[in-house]
A and B are shown apart, each in its own frame.
Chain A
Amino acid sequence: MRRNYVRAVGTAALAALAMVAAAGCQDAGSGTAGGGDKCGGKIAIFGAFTGANSGLVLPSLNGAKLAVKQHNEKNPDCQVKLEEFDTTGDPAQATPVANRVAQDQSFLAVIGGHFSGETKATMQTYEAAGMVMVSPSATAPELTQQDNKAFHRVVGNDLTQGAAAATYIKNTLKGQKVFVIDDATTYGQGIAGETKKGLGPLVAASDKVQTGQSNFDATISKIKSAQADTVVYAGYTNEAAPLLKQLRAAGVQAKFLGFDGIYSPEFASGAGAAAEGAIITCPCLPASEAGGTFSADYEKEFGEAPGSYGAEGYDGAVVLLEGIKAGKNTRQGLLEWVDSYDKQGVSKYIKFDETGDVDKSKVVIWAYEVKGGQITAQQEIKLS
């Protein structure tokens, strides 16, 4: 009898608890709404800050941090907070980040994505939230072909980069038989396609590898039988470094050209001596060419020269910071501000067209060379 009584009370208590909890309902997840009269706000930045390909993205993050720091020092009554979200470049990790940021009304804008894959996965979420995206390095052409109002990039896209690489191969490297490899990602496939278009009949053969691959016997075998004098790799450091190393180890002397996906210190260290003489194209400016005191400031702050996309990350942040300073503290306001932005940045003149690309005539593509284990600027590739 007493046992039943205890049980009855127990279950009733459970049910009561559930009802009390429901009554005291409280959704603590959506954060405070932005807006109001106070100047300042939060900007999110996402990208591969850790992981195998982080060397490409960290300079951009640092550039953005520098911009925010400088802004906060100059504007004590308009403080901006930059919050970092690491995605390791993986679209699957970028998606929950996008949901989080989009739902939290205290985030006014987002700098990102840094890789094309994660950008493609999250563009629609940010657009639905009415946020503006300013990307320092997502270069796949299809990103601006999807009628997305949110996406803007302060960098040239792969249409220009691919065409520039083709021009460089034809004029400077004087390649006759070009072997083009891509890694079957959004980025790699896109830019390889553009380069092949530009090269036309000079392409001797091509191959696809996969991300995560570590031995490239079959590809190298094909390169040898095609007797290529130039090898073009469209992809990231994680695969490019072992590929180049094994290529040289197999005795292939062909010139090697890669794109901005391998512009990172890990490429030179991973491939070792084999990386010597490799060419890397990038729609990013060398540190020495960047406008203003950017390079000096960056070096003072982080102890090293800005790497790939450092200046672009800085510019992306500055565009948003100036908007916040001008009193735009809503998402809609910032979006309109960015759409109508028309000013010189440290990497290039920044003005966006209706699709989100920077003015094509302002895009710069540079060729870099690996010398002595360091990536040094070689020349600007003129696009005509």
Chain B
Amino acid sequence: MNFDELFGHLGQHTVDGLAKGAIYALVALGYTLVYGVLKLINFAHSEVFMVGTFAVMGTWALLGATDGPSFGMVVLLVVAGLAAGALASGATAVAVERIAYRRLRRMNAPPLIFLITAIGLSLVLAEAFGLWQGRIVKGMPDVVRHDIWLTIGNTEISNRQIITVVAALGMMFALDRFINGTRYGRGVRAVAQNPDTAALMGVNQDRVIMLIFLLGGLLAGAAALLWSIRYGITKFDIGFLVGLKAFTAAVLGGIGNLRGALVGGLLLGVVEVYSATLTSSSWEDVAAFVVLVVVLLFRPTGLLGESLGRARA
């Protein structure tokens, strides 16, 4: 166990972990929203993220992006990428709900059926893209050139990392305001707490459910943009690991709890980087799974506990 490496550069590794975790947090929001209201693990959400990355890649290719463009071009590419990613991911999420989940809800199907269907959808989406785009790694141009914006001691913080964390926090804040401040948000919380009573109070369940899928999709699309800026690659099967880690983050923070998703995501990113530093990157995934298992065993409600409306039994 390489403790010198870890403690010698603790600041750097922490910053790297936070930036990594911010993307997990955004994707985790999609899982947590859906689970909080429907008690359903939306396995297909990982592919919603993947679709977003391809949309971003396609938009950038369409706009003729190259490495290190001018400032104006950067702004254009980021905005266009965000729009494309959010739209594509949102549309995919809503389509999944409309085509598959709604029917299952009509049949009042047990959780296992939902799970299997979600897995099936995830496979269909991933494979469809694999067939369409090929199974190789797809590179994207470096839209935001790497630059060190902040140096604290021997810790270098780059522009990409700052953008990622700030954007994630900003979107989290916006979502929080939406859920807690607007009429639609009240509807979401009401359905999460008790669907039947909410219906009695005049809340249209179907619309609320479509809304949460849409929100989750939009956030995943934003995460896709941030991913594209930071890592610059995508692949048809990129969704699986990212989705699994994001779900772990959601569980870690308290599934159904929006702030929990943020905390969980950031924490998971840091844990992963620390464990990779202590041992090697090939143990990174085990760290995530072990965290998942330990949290579920000792604190199933997660770190921040309470959920969107209903406490988990």
A and B touch in the complex (CB under 8 A): yes
B276 at the binding interface (Cβ < 8 Å): yes
Q: B277 — which chain A residues lie within 8 A by C-beta?
A: 218, 221-222
In contact, B281 and A271 (Cβ under 8 angstroms): no
Q: How far is the CA of A214 from the CA of B276 in the complex (A)?
A: 14
One of B140, B141, B241, B284 near A218 (C-beta < 8 A):
B284
A176 at the binding interface (Cβ < 8 Å): no
Q: How far is the CA of A236 from the CA of B135 in the complex (A)?
A: 14
Q: How far is the CA of A270 from the CA of B232 in the complex (A)?
A: 10
One of B8, B230, B281 near A207 (C-beta < 8 A):
B281
Are A208 and B282 CB-contacts (below 8 A) given A218-B273, A273-B142? yes
In contact, A214 and B138 (Cβ under 8 angstroms): no
Are A210 and B282 CB-contacts (below 8 A) given A238-B137, A250-B158? yes
Q: Which of B19, B137, B276, B277 has the most CB of A within 10 A?
A: B137
Report 13 cross-chain contacts, Cβ distance below 8 Å, ordered by A residue.
A50-B135, A209-B282, A212-B237, A214-B233, A214-B238, A217-B20, A218-B272, A224-B12, A238-B136, A241-B139, A266-B137, A270-B137, A270-B233
In contact, A212 and B241 (Cβ under 8 angstroms): yes
B285 at the binding interface (Cβ < 8 Å): yes
Interface residues of B in 1-22 (CB under 8 A from A): 5, 8-9, 12-13, 16-17, 19-20
Interface readout for A229-251 with B: 1 if CB under 8 Å, 0 if not?
00000000110011001100111
Are A210 and B281 CB-contacts (below 8 A) given A217-B20, A221-B12, A221-B13? yes
B148 at the binding interface (Cβ < 8 Å): yes
Residue of A nearest to B235 (CB): A214
Residue of B nearest to A275 (CB): B139
In contact, B139 and A272 (Cβ under 8 angstroms): yes
In contact, A246 and B12 (Cβ under 8 angstroms): no
Q: How far is the CB of A265 from chain B (nearest CB, A)?
A: 10
Total A residues in contact with B, Cβ cutoff 8 Å: 37
In contact, A269 and B158 (Cβ under 8 angstroms): no
B206 at the binding interface (Cβ < 8 Å): no
Q: Please report the number of residue pairs spanning A and B whose Cβ atoms sit closer than 8 angstroms.
A: 112
Q: A212 — which chain B residues lie within 8 A by C-beta?
A: 237, 241
Are A219 and B67 CB-contacts (below 8 A) given A245-B232, A246-B231, A250-B146? no
Q: B272 — which chain A residues lie within 8 A by C-beta?
A: 218
Q: A246 — which chain B residues lie within 8 A by C-beta?
A: 231-233
In addition to A218-B276, A221-B273, A249-B142, 8 A-B residue pairs with Cβ atoms within 8 Å of each other are A219-B276, A221-B9, A221-B16, A225-B8, A249-B160, A270-B138, A272-B232, A273-B67
Interface readout for B139-177 with A: 1 if CB under 8 Å, 0 if not?
111100010100000000010100000000000000000
Q: B182 — which chain A residues lie within 8 A by C-beta?
A: none
A213 at the binding interface (Cβ < 8 Å): yes
A78 at the binding interface (Cβ < 8 Å): no
Interface readout for A162-199 with B: 1 if CB under 8 Å, 0 if not?
00000000000000000000001000000000000000
Q: A270 — which chain B residues lie within 8 A by C-beta?
A: 136-139, 233
One of B9, B12, B137 near A241 (C-beta < 8 A):
B137
Q: How far is the CB of B20 from chain A (nearest CB, A)?
A: 5
In contact, B280 and A208 (Cβ under 8 angstroms): yes
Interface readout for B232-252 with A: 1 if CB under 8 Å, 0 if not?
110101100110000000000
Q: A52 — which chain B residues lie within 8 A by C-beta?
A: 135-137, 235
For the complex of A and B, the 6 pairs showing the least CB-CB separation, nearest first, are A218-B276, A270-B137, A272-B139, A208-B280, A208-B282, A242-B233
A216 at the binding interface (Cβ < 8 Å): yes
Q: How large is the interface on B (under 10, 10 to 19, 20 to 34, 35 or more residues)?
A: 35 or more
Interface residues of A in 267-294 (CB under 8 A from B): 269-273
Q: B242 — which chain A residues lie within 8 A by C-beta?
A: 214
Are A245 and B237 CB-contacts (below 8 A) given A210-B281, A272-B67? no
Q: How far is the CB of B238 from chain A (nearest CB, A)?
A: 5
Q: How far is the CB of A168 from chain B (nearest CB, A)?
A: 25
Are A242 and B281 CB-contacts (below 8 A) given A52-B135, A251-B148? no
Q: How far is the CB of A185 from chain B (nearest CB, A)?
A: 11
Q: How far is the CA of A343 from the CA of B285 in the complex (A)?
A: 50
In contact, B282 and A241 (Cβ under 8 angstroms): no
One of A205, A209, A221, A242 near B137 (C-beta < 8 A):
A242
Q: B235 — which chain A residues lie within 8 A by C-beta?
A: 52, 214
Are A214 and B280 CB-contacts (below 8 A) given A237-B137, A270-B139, A271-B139? no
In contact, A184 and B273 (Cβ under 8 angstroms): no
Q: How far is the CA of A210 from the CA of B141 in the complex (A)?
A: 24
Q: B137 — which chain A residues lie within 8 A by C-beta?
A: 52, 237-238, 241-242, 266, 270
In contact, B158 and A225 (Cβ under 8 angstroms): no
Q: How far is the CA of A18 from the CA of B66 in the complex (A)?
A: 69
In contact, A245 and B238 (Cβ under 8 angstroms): no
Residue of B nearest to A183 (CB): B282
In contact, B285 and A210 (Cβ under 8 angstroms): yes
In contact, B233 and A241 (Cβ under 8 angstroms): yes
One of A214, A237, A245, A271 near B241 (C-beta < 8 A):
A214
Are A225 and B146 CB-contacts (below 8 A) given A52-B136, A242-B231, A271-B139? no
Q: How far is the CA of A221 from the CA of B17 in the complex (A)?
A: 10
Q: How far is the CA of A205 from the CA of B9 in the complex (A)?
A: 15
Q: Which of B20, B67, B276, B281 has the most CB of A within 10 A?
A: B281
Q: B284 — which chain A residues lie within 8 A by C-beta?
A: 210, 213, 218
Q: A222 — which chain B residues lie within 8 A by C-beta?
A: 5, 276-277
